[in-house]
Structure 1
Amino acid sequence: MKKAKKEYSNGVVTVVYEPDLCIHSGVCFKGLPDVFQPGTRPWVKAKGASTDEIIMQIQKCPSRALSFYMNSGDENEEKGPIKAIETGQKVEVFKDGPMMMEGPITLIGSDGHREVLGNSCYFCRCGASKNKPFCDGSHKDIKFKE
């Protein structure tokens, strides 16, 4: 079954929305309310902000229900959502275990405290760690499965 996909363009960039992926976090409309307006049709007003502002907001979508591609005018160029390229930083999810991030990264805690982490760090995915957000191996004790 083909997933639903809607596209909205300002002539320079096309916003791609896949409603089946959306978790309704509100990040899009809270960050750029002149573009993303749930409850209206069409709900994406692609001319409501600059192309750069739209791209920056789309990149904050936690579910990746929003993506974009640049309109080139070249009919032979393949169109589709922009994909990240290898940047030297890496995120790896371990089966039945933690998520590893290779830094350097800045970790911002729920209290706003900022900490720069170099090399690699392992984040808990099972919820049982006593050292959240970091993994302490508790996933093994509770037999965490994906």
Structure 2
Amino acid sequence: MKSIKKEYSNGEVTVVYEPDLCIHSGVCFKGLPQVFQPGTRPWVKMQGGSTQEIINQISRCPSRALSFYMNSPEKTEEEKGPTKALETGRKVEVLENGPLMVEGPITLVRANGKREAMEEVCYFCRCGSSKNKPFCDGSHEELGFKE
């Protein structure tokens, strides 16, 4: 079964909606009701907000049913190449033979349920030898950790 994707654009940014992922939390329309209007067609009114407001609201979507990519109208389709979604405020990068680098803001939920706001970049251990888990302490280097 093919999943549905709908796109809405203001020329500068294109919003991608994947209804199969949506959990109907209401975060989108509660935060930016002039853009996100369920029950109307089309339900995304791109002229209702600035590009930055739309991007900021999409980054709050808990299910990731909403994403976006920036348009490049100055380039031809041939020059653009394949369309790629841009990061929506968070980034996880696997560092070669090292930790996972996570750019915040994120919420870290520990095994005991304690929640911590991580505003900056943090590095998570992948080798299992850190003495400061879940964070990396550089133990992978002396261990000779390789992927």
CA apart distance, 1:123: 2.3
Q: What is the CA–CA distance in structure 1 between the aligned matches of 2:101 and 2:113, rounded to whole Å?
A: 15
TM-aligned CA distance change 1:104 to 1:6, over 3 Å:
closer
CA apart distance, 1:2: 1.8
CA apart distance, 1:62: 0.5
TM-aligned CA distance change 1:102 to 1:24, over 3 Å:
same
Alignment map for 1:1-146 (pairs within 5 Å): 1-73=1-73, 74=75, 75-76=77-78, 77=80, 78-83=82-87, 123-124=110-111, 131-133=112-114
More helix by share: 2
Q: Which runs of 5+ in 2 are unaligned?
A: 95-99, 116-147
Structural RMSD (CA) = 3.2
| 4+ long deviations beyond 3 Å | 83-90, 100-107
TM-aligned CA distance change 1:132 to 1:13, over 3 Å:
same
Secondary structure, aligned partner of 1:69: strand
Amino acid at match of 1:132: G
User: What is the TM-score normalised by the length of structure 1?
Assistant: 0.61
Identity of aligned residues (%): 60
Instruction: Tell me which residue corresponds to 2:125.
Output: none
CA apart distance, 1:105: 6.2
TM-aligned CA distance change 1:133 to 1:40, over 3 Å:
same
Q: What is the CA–CA distance in structure 2 between the aligned matches of 1:85 and 1:106, rounded to whole Å?
A: 10
CA apart distance, 1:46: 0.8
Amino acid at match of 2:34: D
2:35·2:47 contact (CA, 8 Å) conserved in 1? Answer: yes
TM-aligned CA distance change 1:86 to 1:2, over 3 Å:
same
Instruction: Tell me which residue corresponds to 2:121.
Output: none
User: What is the TM-score normalised by the length of structure 2?
Assistant: 0.60
| Paired residue total | 106
CA apart distance, 1:103: 8.4
CA apart distance, 1:82: 1.8
